[in-house]
Amino acid sequence: MTEFTPLEYDDGPLVWIDCEMTGLDFLNDKIIEIAVIITNGNLEPVDEGINYIINTSKEVLDGMNEWCINQHGKSGLTKSCLESKDSYEQVIEKVLKYIKKWIPEKGAGILAGSTVHADMRFLMIGMPEIMKHLSYRIVDVSSIKEICKRWYPSIRQQDKARRTTESAHRALDDIKASIEELKFYRETIFIPVENPTKRGTTPENERQGKTAI
């Protein structure tokens, strides 16, 4: 694996996040597992990533909807939540420290994942410290999937065919699958990747709609 130093804005850092929750109601449900993998703009991971399971009471877990009770029970996540030593606050601190280690510059890292807008809602309410360090933009692989479904249906079928296992809905595995999916789309529907050049763009002047050439 390539040896990485902390990434800067021009490296195009992507902060891949996937969360498992007690449900999909971001106003009432809670994050119970979070995983993060950071890549550069070429989808090369800086390391193996991190994965934390949040200690959650039996009362909260028993209140999950039927799908979550079945799926998280089958995957072993429910049991792991009861046994975890990491509190919600401790996990926030550890995740933010990890992201800042690899992307010190506020606003340089872009949230990425599959249907990651859903995770973002939970993060904005439950872990706003993390979202404040990231860019206001996101890379959602599901958007590319939906465009491919409409414009390149045969390639969308190829994507389905290459999947040999069903998702266990565990955070770190789902991130790895999302990265591989974006690599697949890059190789099949995008023109060849150009070598990145530093153009002097920063998070601040991008927010102002300016690009320094």
- Active site (annotated) includes residue 136: yes
pLDDT of residue 211: 43
pLDDT digits (tens, 9 = 90+) for 73-121: 999 999 999 999 999 999 999 999 999 999 999 999 999 999 999 999 9
Give the separation between CA 43 and CA 140, rounded to whole angstroms.
Answer: 14
pLDDT of 9 above 80: yes
pTM comes to 0.87
* Residue 194 pLDDT grade (very low, low, confident, very high; cuts 50, 70, 90): confident
Q: Cβ(123)–Cβ(130) under 8 Å?
A: yes
Q: pLDDT tens digits for 133-143?
A: 999 999 999 99
Q: Which of 98, 136, 152, 185 is catalytic?
A: 136
Residues of the chain with pLDDT > 70: what percent? 88
Nearest 10 degrees: Cα torsion 64, 112, 125, 27: -40
Banded model confidence at residue 22, pLDDT cuts 50, 70, 90: very high
Yes or no: say if 2 and 140 are a contact pair by the CB < 8 Å rule.
no
Q: What share of the chain is helix, strand, coil (3-state, %, to 5)?
A: 50, 15, 40
Helices 171-189 and 141-151 sit at what angle, rounded to 10 degrees? 40
Whether 213 shows a pLDDT value over 70: the answer reads no
pLDDT at 4: 85
pLDDT at 170: 84
CA dihedral 197, 199, 205, 211 (to 10 degrees): -120
Q: Residue 116: which residues within 8 A CB-CB, separation 6 or more?
A: 17, 18, 138, 139, 140, 141, 142
Phi (first) and psi of residue 56, to 5 degrees: -135, 140
Q: Express each pLDDT in 138-188 by its tens digit.
A: 999 999 999 999 999 999 888 878 776 666 678 999 999 999 999 999 999
For the chain, domains (ranges, CATH) are 9-189 (3.30.420.10)
Q: Supply the pLDDT for residue 212.
A: 40
Q: State the burial class of residue 141 (Cβ atoms within 10 Å of its Cβ: 0-12, 13-18, 19+).
A: buried
Residue 125 pLDDT > 60: yes
In eight-state DSSP terms, residue 159 is H
